[in-house]
Amino acid sequence: MLEDASTEDVTFRVERETFAAHRAVLAARSSIFQKQFSEPMKKKMSHITINRLEPVVFKALLHFIYTDSLPTMDDLSRDENNAVMQSLLAAADQYDLERLKLMCARILCTDLDVENVAGALWLADKYNCQKLKEACVDFMDSSNRVDDVVASQGYQLLKRGSPTPLADAWEKRSRARISFH
């Protein structure tokens, strides 16, 4: 159905790209879309503009809604793929797609590095992804990485903008050290 534009009844404008979709499919998979399409004023609306999402992220979101899987993103670099997963996790939360949120969090857990762990920790805290948060804290807690993580630009941004997840990380580290001694 995703590829069949002949039966679509709604289009989304994301930046300069347009995506055709089916209200029934969207509403069946997302309580947010269900609510949006059931509102009397929006029933007639057939063109919706999506702000704050990149086309690649919205396309992946639609792919998931229709197939219950993530699209292959082999054409993206590791950093680009990580950025898409982070944005997709936020979109999954916004559209109440818990399974997609879990899938994105799982992928992000396996792709942590010194530069992206602080951003992933911020997302985990903001969108209540406990497994991702634990993976980030464990990654940062690793004795040979702490100094590198603290020196990273992502860490400095997180420290200034949202210190709570870092406090949680260092609190866990302190508890581990105390129980070790």
**Domain limits, the chain:** 114-181
More confident residue, 84 or 44: 84
d(CA 103, CA 15): 25
Write the DSSP symbol of residue 15: T
Pick the CATH number of 114-181 from 1.25.40.420, 3.40.50.150, 3.50.50.60, 3.30.70.2740: 1.25.40.420
> Which of 50-64, 92-106, 111-125, 147-161 is the least confident region?
147-161
d(CA 114, CA 110): 13
Q: Kindly list the strands in the beta sheet with 47-50, ordered across the sheet, starting from the edge strand earlier in the chain.
A: 17-21, 10-14, 47-50
- pLDDT at position 174 is 47
